[in-house]
Structure 1
Amino acid sequence: MTDTYTVLWDMSRSNLDEPFRGGLESVTPGGASTARVQRTELTKREVRDLSRAPEVAAVAPVMPTNLIAPVSNDEAGVEAAAEPAPGGVAWGIEAVGAVASQRDGSGVVPAILDTGIDASHPAFTGVTLDQVDFSGSGNGDRQGHGTHCAGTVFGRDVDGTRIGVARGVSHALIGKVLGDDGSGDSDMLFRGIQWAAQSGAQVISMSLGFDFPGLVQRLVQQGFPVDLATSRALEAYRANLRMFDTLMRLLAAQIDFTGGTVVAAASGNESKRKVNPDYEIGVSLPAAADGVLSVGALGRSPNGLVIAPFSNTFPQVAGPGVEVLSAKAGGGLVAFNGTSMATPHAAGIATLWWQDVTASPLPSTSTTVTARMLAACDLSQLALDVDVADRGMGLVQAPAQQLP
């Protein structure tokens, strides 16, 4: 019996098999080009044998993925539809300090791995969009999620309203790793990350999650007993977490050659604090992987910004995630709620920090960008009773001014 697996190859460990080399391994100083992602059908014995190959960094069963769907206004604790802040600026853009910052993301390349993009939307006028479809459903965004996220990262003003954090971005990568119904799988995602990193992405934004319950349900429908289906799904989840950790280590190992990539992911919308304040779910995959910047969601209240009731706990940072106004597929604007909306705020801020660090005497690496970004997080706008476990380092903030 065979199953579908993703194999992560580390080609820097490949033996060249040339005469007189004495078994030395080649090391390719080309960044993420040393990583290769392959989808294949394998038996259990073949998995065991393949995992012993020196070039194989990780093997994991293919798991379903889904966009982290926006939650309803009721679940988010919102009573009325979102409106732009005074002056025609979406409230989140103001909160993260993008309006006051002298940085606009010029010269930095972000990547959005999501449901694609509506490239004809006025929010993306003047931006060169490199689109690759990994889902098999064709380029473009028939779902709307990816367009909304991209609008927050680098969208231009729409009908006089500012929606984008990094409006100076002129080149962006759009990897469609979720189909038109919002679903995909882990192999699509891993191939999307590999492509984005190899294509020069300095920031990757992912507002999606691994569908553990969906995999259990699919196995049960195939005739597996519930306990066996749960065990198989847990094995797959664990293997994919290790795959993610390994891929992130491969990317980090290439920082000296490429500068590296800041990878941000949504913490998830599974918590239900409106039902019970203790109903808190931990950060989910891929946000739970080592080296990934996990992002929780904040909303407004009379006492300051508070954790959104749906936002999963233990993120590293937080961003505006309630009543977020951004680009609507097909034209215009729409407000969504979710950690999916908080993540592009963080990705946009990382884009501004890349520009700031590049113009400074500091090393132009993702490590420097992440360190500066974490150090700049703001607590002053948060309500006093916000738990550190729910907001991490705090609200992401743009560089306040240009360095000399």
Structure 2
Amino acid sequence: MSEQKYVVLQTEDIIVPVAADVGFGHRSIGENPASLKVEEAALTGNERNDLRRDPRTKAIAPMMPMKLIEPVKQSEVAPTSDSATWGVEAVGANVSSFDGSDITVAVLDTGIQPDHPAFLGVDLVQRNFTTEGDNDQNGHGTHCAGTIFGQDQNGLRIGVARNVKQALIGKVLGEGGSTSLILAQAMQWAVSEGAHIISMSLGIDFPGVVDRLVKQGLEVAPATSLALEAYRANVNLFTELASFVQAQGVFGQGTIIVAASGNESNRPKYEIAVAPPAAGTGVIAVGALQQGTSGLSIANFSNDQVNVAAPGVDVVSAWIGGGLRSLNGTSMATPHVAGVAALWAQKQLQERRTVDSQILMSRLIASGTLAPLATGGQPEDVGTGIVQAP
């Protein structure tokens, strides 16, 4: 029987009772969640089934290719007299008393241009999971990072949480794309390095999987069926990862995951549901909003069944080469949510001396409001609405 490559999640420590600091001098006794290891394994069908029966195994999923959620449109930025981008203002970051101080954010994307003036004074911890150079050669990761914690550029505020002083930059996407293994490893790395928020804008390349299977000699129908099976397994994989990440929060290491829903919809012709990793339970899926004469509305490309929404059209942020660029996409909406999450995390840290991921996630999602939205939108399109800073 032929082997196939899998991503395997297994616990590696014995769960033991520990005391956790829950704030204001109180201690809570509970079970310390076992650490999780992410490994690649080449397995036959029988070996896979044996591994599934191992009590340490949390998830097994066929390794799937992943691709960047590409911006729908990009353009140069004209000079402006505005003091902040419309996205920063729309989420209320410009009037918030919080700025992201003492919060660590991880951006899993195409990397970053570390010497861009938008990141002056930020401790950038870079980790390259690709076979390319360490820095951003695409621009997407730099743009997303700029929206989260970028410093003002030529008098224009581009960053939602502009006093974040430590950022974990995981380069998970290169010219050759990525895989679910790379993303899972990067998520584990971000948690181990102390990230409070993980922001990512990539999705499973489902058509690519089907095409590969067809090229291997399968008919389209069975190829699609096998790809769907792998897809479901990867949804479970990211759900288990999210559960592991959230479990750390009870013990003072809270992390939430924010992910782009995807740009495959073409409203009003058709709407596509959110794809993994954003489809995983416990992952905050983000839709994109655009400005209009009667208020904000869902962007025609934005996938549905999201948790929250944020500005995702005409978003100005940092770009490779040292300047700014305007992009459209759910990838642009996601860092707005990650930035707002950093503000809520700072508030919680001041109140409780620790970050509880469940509380943080609840507060972030509950901050969503439909008030600025034009009539006619559906909850599936925007979730609770556009997130708001505390």
- Normalising to structure 1: TM-score of the pair? 0.89
Residue 225 (structure 1) aligned to one of 219, 222, 227: 219
Output the CA distance in 2 between the equivalents of 1:392 and 1:14. Answer: 36
Q: Which residue of structure 2 lines up, in the alignment, with residue 402 of structure 1?
A: none
Residue 183 (structure 2) aligned to one of 179, 184, 189: 189
Q: Which residue of structure 1 lines up, in the alignment, with residue 166 of structure 2?
A: 171
Q: Do structure 1's residue 340 and structure 2's residue 331 form an aligned pair?
A: yes
The AA in structure 2 aligned to 1:236 is A
Q: Which residue of structure 2 lines up, in the alignment, with residue 299 of structure 1?
A: 290
Shift of residue 252, structure 1, vs aligned partner: 2.3
Shift of residue 175, structure 1, vs aligned partner: 0.8
Shift of residue 378, structure 1, vs aligned partner: 2.2
Q: Which residue of structure 2 lines up, in the alignment, with residue 355 of structure 1?
A: 346
Q: Which residue of structure 1 lines up, in the alignment, with residue 275 of structure 2?
A: 284
Q: Which residue of structure 2 lines up, in the alignment, with residue 65 of structure 1?
A: 66
Q: Which residue of structure 2 lines up, in the alignment, with residue 91 of structure 1?
A: 86
Residue 321 (structure 2) aligned to one of 323, 327, 330: 330
The AA in structure 1 aligned to 2:122 is V
Deviates more, 1:385-394 or 1:333-342: 385-394
Output the CA distance in 2 between the equivalents of 1:43 and 1:113. Answer: 31
Q: Which residue of structure 2 lines up, in the alignment, with residue 40 of structure 1?
A: 41
Decide whether the 8 Å contact of 1:296 with 1:317 is kept in 2.
yes
Residue 100 (structure 1) aligned to one of 95, 102, 106: 95
1:313-324 to 2 correspondence within 5 Å? 313-324=304-315
Q: Which residue of structure 1 lines up, in the alignment, with residue 233 of structure 2?
A: 239
Give SS of 2:264's match. coil
The AA in structure 1 aligned to 2:228 is L
Decide whether the 8 Å contact of 1:81 with 1:323 is kept in 2.
no
Shift of residue 259, structure 1, vs aligned partner: 3.4
Q: Do structure 1's residue 203 and structure 2's residue 204 form an aligned pair?
A: no
- Percent identity, aligned pairs only? 50
Note the alpha carbon deviations across 1:321-345, whole angstroms, 9 max, x for none. 0000001012100001000000000
Aligned length: 376
Note the alpha carbon deviations across 1:178-217, whole angstroms, 9 max, x for none. 1135x10100000000000111000000111111111111
Note the alpha carbon deviations across 1:108-144, whole angstroms, 9 max, x for none. 0000001111111111111111111112223111011
Decide whether the 8 Å contact of 2:76 with 2:325 is kept in 1.
no
Decide whether the 8 Å contact of 1:13 with 1:54 is kept in 2.
no
The AA in structure 1 aligned to 2:164 is V
Q: Which residue of structure 2 lines up, in the alignment, with residue 266 of structure 1?
A: 260
Decide whether the 8 Å contact of 1:270 with 1:281 is kept in 2.
yes
Decide whether the 8 Å contact of 2:304 with 2:380 is kept in 1.
yes
Shift of residue 88, structure 1, vs aligned partner: 2.9
Output the CA distance in 2 between the equivalents of 1:371 and 1:259. Answer: 16
Note the alpha carbon deviations across 1:78-129, whole angstroms, 9 max, x for none. xx97657753311101111010011100100000001111111111111111
Q: Over the residues paired in the alignment, what is the CA RMSD in angstroms?
A: 2.0
Decide whether the 8 Å contact of 2:271 with 2:304 is kept in 1.
yes
Decide whether the 8 Å contact of 1:112 with 1:206 is kept in 2.
yes
Give SS of 2:301's match. coil
Q: Which residue of structure 1 lines up, in the alignment, with residue 379 of structure 2?
A: 388
Decide whether the 8 Å contact of 1:115 with 1:180 is kept in 2.
no
Shift of residue 222, structure 1, vs aligned partner: 2.1
From the superposition, tell whether residues 332 and 82 of structure 1 become closer, same or farther in structure 2 (CA, over 3 Å): closer
Give SS of 1:239's match. helix
Shift of residue 253, structure 1, vs aligned partner: 2.4
Note the alpha carbon deviations across 1:64-88, whole angstroms, 9 max, x for none. 0011000037xxxxxx976577533
Q: Which residue of structure 2 lines up, in the alignment, with residue 139 of structure 1?
A: 134
The AA in structure 2 aligned to 1:100 is V
The AA in structure 2 aligned to 1:388 is P
Q: Which runs of 5+ in 2 are unaligned?
A: 17-29
From the superposition, tell whether residues 86 and 390 of structure 1 become closer, same or farther in structure 2 (CA, over 3 Å): farther
Residue 111 (structure 2) aligned to one of 113, 116, 132: 116
More strand per residue: 1 or 2? 2
Give SS of 1:119's match. coil
The AA in structure 1 aligned to 2:320 is A
Q: Which residue of structure 2 lines up, in the alignment, with residue 180 of structure 1?
A: 175
Shift of residue 374, structure 1, vs aligned partner: 2.1
1:66-81 to 2 correspondence within 5 Å? 66-72=67-73
Output the CA distance in 1 between the equivalents of 2:157 and 2:53. Answer: 52
From the superposition, tell whether residues 86 and 315 of structure 1 become closer, same or farther in structure 2 (CA, over 3 Å): farther
Output the CA distance in 2 between the equivalents of 1:64 and 1:53. Answer: 26
From the superposition, tell whether residues 185 and 331 of structure 1 become closer, same or farther in structure 2 (CA, over 3 Å): same
From the superposition, tell whether residues 28 and 180 of structure 1 become closer, same or farther in structure 2 (CA, over 3 Å): farther
Decide whether the 8 Å contact of 2:266 with 2:301 is kept in 1.
yes
Deviates more, 1:193-202 or 1:244-253: 244-253
Q: Which residue of structure 1 lines up, in the alignment, with residue 24 of structure 2?
A: none
From the superposition, tell whether residues 64 and 7 of structure 1 become closer, same or farther in structure 2 (CA, over 3 Å): same
